[in-house]
């Protein structure tokens, strides 16, 4: 079958739904390995509709993954996340198979894209595009990010305690910046508000001094145009959007200016300009991932600044509310002595949901995480668990079962970070041959990578696999009502259970036992395409139990159009798997409990658990 005829058949399937007839088997999509009829090209397309990410089949989409990667901040691989395409492919497969990710925030370097003013380096863009393609070929969505921290590495002296990334040398040379110094700074981020050179350079960029912002926008447009032109149409469908500028901050405010008016008068007009550049580069159908003032949701009162793009009006489907969240109290080692607990970040992430909803769009937490070494690393297992819990639901586990209708939308998020070179770097800090960094992230003493390479060159996780490889609804055919996942991740030898099945559901509790479980409630849309949940590796098909209004299944069968509960590989040939739930009706409330805790459950136990869940769902969701 020719590619044209295959794609025409796919369109016909979507328009008529005739393959839902009993016994009819649709042809596989012509695309990624392990693709099914609904996977490509429509399912790969991502837009914003009704305040949610949606694919071309109208399903709600949740993006989960990692930042790829902090390596871009370094010079050892010339501002690229990977030394080679082979390493990018190895990383992509591991990210999907070990880390459960379906998306990445792909870091780009302005300094390497435009090393000389007005001269875009197409060699760099070609290498970056090839590495992006490695993730797309693994079935992973990509949204690029022009990354910066502390404006530029070229602001810092060879003997400095700190370094930056972002702007090229010529942009720094254009300004007469003071000698960089942070004074007595315990954390690199203090440079943002205390280092005079960083503050002045940032101010100049936002005020287009020396036409710096114009140059950046021109390079960004050239970058986007290059990526668009050098990916196939099918590949480009997997590009989710663009993040124009990492963690924007004014540097200093003008007289009478506030953080809020800076967002309104300076930051938002920049995004409008960038949006126009996206359109001109052929990205008109992809959203801009707009970050507010980075301090808008700081959880230390002395750092918090009013913001959140409050005066940008309705962002609508062409923009995504894009924010970061780190627990600075926990990172400080002083302001939070203990560890995180159930519902620790429910309010913080609830604010993100509310802000996106008020802006008429969806949200993504494009950075979150916690140090994995150092004096506060003991908090990481609980802090990151609490962050994922807050992405899944705005409720703590203690109240989820009693009021699931208040759970809120499932948030998208990309953890910081996925750096396969962690602990194996060879970075000359600020080009100083006497300061060769090898440990951690090799950047300002950070160590947050969820992955590393072992001595055989194999990617291995540095965090509990139960925490990272998670059950989540990657595509919902309808509207999500509520979701929760109890990962049973560990803090040392202690298993953390923050959302046990309540005693009022004894048969469900017996079925789950000490295993992991997830529960999704959704209203179907009438689509013939199924709802998809990523199945962690800890949920082998032979040990997976599903209890749903659609039926019950222990060891679900392979997917067919007539099988309401089924398992299939995820597209991309990485060995990762998904649970597929095909639900009839439009507006009908459905539920599905998925657990790996049962061992050959009896038909009576499955039936009793289903009766309990049906009664609970009918009363808990009005």
Q: What is the pLDDT of residues 59-91, one digit of tens each?
A: 999 999 999 999 999 999 999 999 999 999 999
Q: Are the C-beta atoms of residues 471 and 594 closer than 8 Å to each other?
A: yes
Express each pLDDT in 348-393 by its tens digit. Answer: 999 999 999 999 999 999 999 999 999 999 999 999 999 999 999 9
Q: Each residue of 388-402: pLDDT tens digit?
A: 999 999 999 999 999
**Over 50: is that where the pLDDT of 5 sits?**
no
Tell me the C-alpha distance between 566 and 109, whole Å.
42
Could you read off the pLDDT of 250-299 as tens digits, one per residue? 999 999 999 999 999 999 999 999 999 999 999 999 999 999 999 999 99
pLDDT at 6 over 80: no
| Percentage of the chain modeled with pLDDT above 70 | 95
pLDDT score of 15: 32
Q: Where are the beta strands (DSSP E) in 487-575?
A: 490-491, 494-495, 517-525, 531-535, 545-548, 551-554, 565-569
Q: For residue 536, which of 598, 600, 580, 579 has the smallest C-alpha distance? A: 579
In contact, 570 and 96? CB cutoff 8 Å: yes
Bigger pLDDT: 21 or 408?
Answer: 408
**Per-residue confidence band for 460, with pLDDT thresholds at 50, 70 and 90:** very high
- Nearest alpha-carbon partner for 100 in 570, 454, 592, 594: 570
* Nearest alpha-carbon partner for 383 in 364, 395, 368, 373: 368
Return d(Cα 328, Cα 295) in angstroms, integer.
11
Mean pLDDT for 511-515 is 98
> How crowded is residue 547: how many other Cβ atoms within 10 Å of its Cβ?
33
Task: Convert the pLDDT of each residue in 526-552 to its tens digit.
Answer: 999 999 999 999 999 999 999 999 999
- Element holding 302 (H helix, E strand): none
Checking 584-588 for CB contacts under 8 A at 24+ apart, the result is 584/524, 584/526, 585/524, 585/526, 586/478, 586/524, 586/525, 586/526, 587/523, 587/524, 588/523, 588/524
Read off the pLDDT band of 508 (50, 70, 90): very high
- Output the pTM of the full model: 0.94
Q: Is the pLDDT of residue 17 over 90?
A: no
H helices within 368-491, ranges in order?
Answer: 380-392, 397-400, 465-468
- pLDDT at 12 exceeding the cut of 80: no
Query: Chain-wide mean pLDDT for the chain?
Result: 94
Look at the chain and count its residues: 622
Average pLDDT over residues 27-51: 84
For 582-609, the pLDDT digits (tens) are 999 999 999 999 999 999 999 999 999 9
Residue 191 pLDDT > 90: yes
Q: Following CA atoms 394, 397, 399, 404 in sequence, which dihedral angle do they give, to the nearest 10 degrees?
A: 60
User: Residue 24: which pLDDT band, with cuts at 50, 70 and 90?
Assistant: very low
**Per-residue pLDDT at 13:** 33
Round to whole Å and give the CA distance between 568 and 430.
Answer: 48
d(CA 339, CA 343): 12
pLDDT at 14: 34
How many other CB atoms are found less than 10 A from the CB of residue 301?
6
Q: Which pLDDT belongs to residue 23?
A: 34
Quickly count: other Cβ atoms within 10 Å of residue 523's Cβ.
Answer: 18
Cα(268)–Cα(308) distance, integer angstroms = 11
Q: Specify the pLDDT at position 19.
A: 31
Least Cα distance to 361 among 405, 403, 414, 323 occurs for 323
């Amino acid at each position: 079958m020719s590619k044209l005829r295959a794609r025409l058949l796919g369109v016909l399937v979507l328009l008529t739904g005739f393959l839902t007839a009993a016994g009819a088997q649709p042809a596989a999509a012509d695309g990624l390995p392990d693709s099914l009829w609904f996977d490509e090209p429509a399912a790969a397309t991502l837009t914003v509709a009704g305040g949610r990410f949606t694919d071309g089949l109208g399903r709600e989409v949740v993006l989960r993954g990692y930042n790829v990667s902090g390596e871009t901040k370094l010079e050892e691989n010339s501002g690229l996340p990977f030394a080679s395409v082979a390493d990018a492919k190895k990383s992509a497969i591991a990210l999907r198979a070990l880390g459960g990710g379906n998306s990445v925030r792909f870091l780009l370097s302005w300094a390497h894209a435009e090393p000389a003013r007005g001269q875009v380096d197409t060699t760099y863009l070609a290498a970056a595009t090839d590495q992006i393609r490695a993730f797309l070929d693994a079935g992973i969505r990509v949204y690029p990010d022009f990354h910066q921290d502390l404006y530029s590495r070229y602001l810092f002296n060879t003997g400095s305690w700190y370094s930056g990334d972002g702007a090229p040398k010529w942009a720094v040379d254009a300004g007469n910046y003071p000698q960089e110094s942070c004074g007595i700074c315990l954390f690199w981020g203090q440079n943002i508000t205390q280092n005079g050179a960083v503050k002045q350079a940032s101010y100049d960029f936002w005020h287009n001094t020396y036409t710096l912002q114009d140059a950046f926008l021109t390079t960004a447009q050239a970058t986007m145009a290059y990526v668009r032109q050098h990916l196939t149409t099918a590949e480009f469908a997997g590009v989710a959007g663009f993040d124009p500028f990492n963690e924007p901050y004014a540097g200093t405010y003008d007289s009478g200016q506030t953080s809020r008016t800076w967002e309104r008068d300076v930051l938002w007009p920049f995004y409008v300009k960038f949006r126009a550049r996206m359109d001109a580069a052929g990205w008109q159908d992809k959203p801009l991932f707009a970050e507010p003032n980075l301090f808008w949701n700081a959880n230390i009162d002395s750092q918090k600044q009013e913001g959140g793009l409050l005066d940008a009006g309705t962002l609508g489907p062409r923009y995504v509310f894009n924010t970061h969240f780190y627990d600075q109290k926990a990172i400080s080692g002083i302001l939070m002595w203990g560890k995180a607990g159930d519902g620790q970040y429910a309010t913080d992430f609830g604010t993100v949901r509310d802000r996106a909803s008020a802006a008429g769009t969806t949200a993504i937490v494009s950075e979150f995480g916690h140090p994995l070494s150092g004096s506060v690393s003991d908090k990481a297992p609980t802090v990151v668990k609490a962050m994922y819990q807050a992405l899944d639901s705005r409720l703590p586990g203690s109240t989820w079962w009693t009021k699931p209708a208040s759970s809120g939308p499932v948030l998208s998020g990309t953890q910081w970070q996925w750096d396969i070179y962690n602990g194996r770097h060879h970075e000359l800090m600020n080009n100083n041959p006497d300061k060769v960094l090898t440990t951690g992230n090799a950047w300002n003493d950070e160590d947050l990578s969820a992955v590393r390479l072992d001595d055989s060159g194999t990617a291995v996780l540095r965090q509990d696999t139960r925490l990272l490889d998670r059950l989540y609804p990657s595509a919902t055919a309808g509207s999500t009502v509520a979701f929760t996942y109890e990962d049973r991740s560990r803090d040392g030898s202690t298993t953390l259970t923050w959302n046990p099945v309540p005693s009022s559901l004894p048969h469900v509790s017996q079925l789950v036992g000490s295993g992991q479980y997830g529960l999704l409630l959704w209203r179907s849309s009438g689509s013939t395409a199924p709802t998809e949940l990523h199945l962690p590796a800890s949920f082998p098909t032979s040990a997976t139990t599903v209890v749903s209004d659609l039926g019950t299944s222990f060891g679900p069968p392979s997917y067919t159009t007539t099988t309401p509960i089924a398992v299939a590989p995820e597209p991309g040939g990485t060995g990762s798997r998904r649970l597929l739930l095909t639900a009839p009706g439009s507006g009908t409330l459905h539920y599905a409990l998925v657990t790996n805790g049962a061992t050959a459950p009896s038909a009576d136990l499955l039936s009793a658990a289903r009766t309990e869940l049906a009664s609970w769902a009918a009363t808990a969701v009005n």
